[in-house]
Amino acid sequence: MSLLDVAQVDFAYGRGRAILSGLSFVVEEGETVGLVGESGSGKTTLLRLALGLQRPSGGTIRFDGAVLDPGDRSSMRQFRRQVQVVFQDPYSSLDPRQKVGAIVAEPLRSLRVSGDHRRMVEQALDAVGLDTGMVDRYPHQFSGGQRQRIAIARAVVCRPRLLLADEAVSALDLSTRLRIVELFKSLGHTMSLLFVSHDIGAVAALCRRVLILEKGRIVEVGDTAQVLSTPQHPYTRRLLDAVPRLAFGETP
């Protein structure tokens, strides 16, 4: 049984055109999977479905064997503890009027996680490489990279089994980006990761397997090193050609 199982999923916003069609893939427990596709190919939409924020118009999404049902409150609460997300923009993802402590503790409070919340927040901050004394500060006092660490701390504070990252390093400068990729790599030892990125270098550094998304369809799946070195689908080749070769420094 896979941790996340997306089967034949279709989706359209309202009565608009199909954004995702017949999409299928799995993420296994402990696996780190990359999702690559050009802008508008439906990556964020797919994550919204996987988070239960939107319902697929066809097909099913299973988490840990159970079909995801956004209408079922108690199962959703269980689900939310296990699946968390990190966004691209470290500015819009933190409430400017809340202190770091409250931001990171929000999932614990809302999901009524038992235990010492203060300690769990400190552990999460520690895990992302932030000083635990920062709980009383406001987001504006941090740099983009630090803010992204705060957002990651919030995502891992309830120890999810699956972490979704939507372009989570794209807004950062190069050296910060490398350090946040390293952070994701270390988190990948304790949870599964679905890592959406334009940055093929980051995907290569993090993910053993990669999915290539074109206009809401998966056109290629495979071992990252293999897909990057010998892409089969013309779309993948075009996508790779658009990236400077320098970016493929590292492989997992």
Partner 1 sequence: MTIPADTAILSRKARSWTLVAGLALVGLHLVVALLTLVWTPFDPTELAGRRLEAPSLLHLAGTDRLGRDLLTQIMIGSRIALTVGTAAVAIGAVLGTTLGLLAAFASNWLDDALAAALDILIAFPTLLIAMLVVAASDGANLSTAILALGLGLSPIVARLARILAKRVLLMDYITAARTSGTSWPAIVRIHVLPNIWPGLSVNLALQFGLAVIAEASLSYLGLGAPPPNASWGRLLQEAQGTVFSAPIGAITPGIALVSLVIGINLLADGLRERNDPARSER
* x-or-dash string of contact with ligand ATP, 21-60, rule CB under 6 A: ----------------x-xxxxxxx---------------
Question: Using an 8 Å Cβ cutoff, are 252 and 208 in contact?
Answer: yes
Q: What DSSP character marks residue 111?
A: T
- Give me the residue label for tokens 């998966």: 218
Judged by CB under 8 A, the residue of 100, 128, 135, 151 near partner 1 is: 151
* x-or-dash string of contact with partner 1, 188-227, rule CB under 8 A: ----------------------------------------
Decide which of ligand ATP, Mg ion, partner 1, none touches 251; Cβ closer than 5 to 8 Å per partner kind.
none
Question: Using an 8 Å Cβ cutoff, are 171 and 57 in contact?
Answer: no
Considering the complex, state which of residue 155 and residue 204 has its C-beta at the smaller distance from partner 1: 155
Task: Give the CA distances from residue 120 to residues 33, 107, 114, in Å, rounded to whole numbers and listed in that order.
Answer: 27, 11, 10
In whole angstroms, the minimum distance from the beta carbon of 122 to partner 1 comes to 18
Q: Where are the alpha helices (DSSP H) in the chain?
A: 43-50, 73-82, 100-110, 117-127, 144-156, 174-187, 200-206, 224-229, 234-241
Q: Residue 222 corresponds to which tokens in the numbers above?
A: 């495979």
Judged by CB under 6 A, the residue of 4, 6, 9, 19 near ligand ATP is: 19
Considering the complex, state which of residue 94 and residue 127 has its C-beta at the smaller distance from partner 1: 94
Considering the complex, state which of residue 41 and residue 236 has its C-beta at the smaller distance from Mg ion: 41
User: Counting contacts by CB under 8 A, is residue 53 touching partner 1?
Assistant: yes
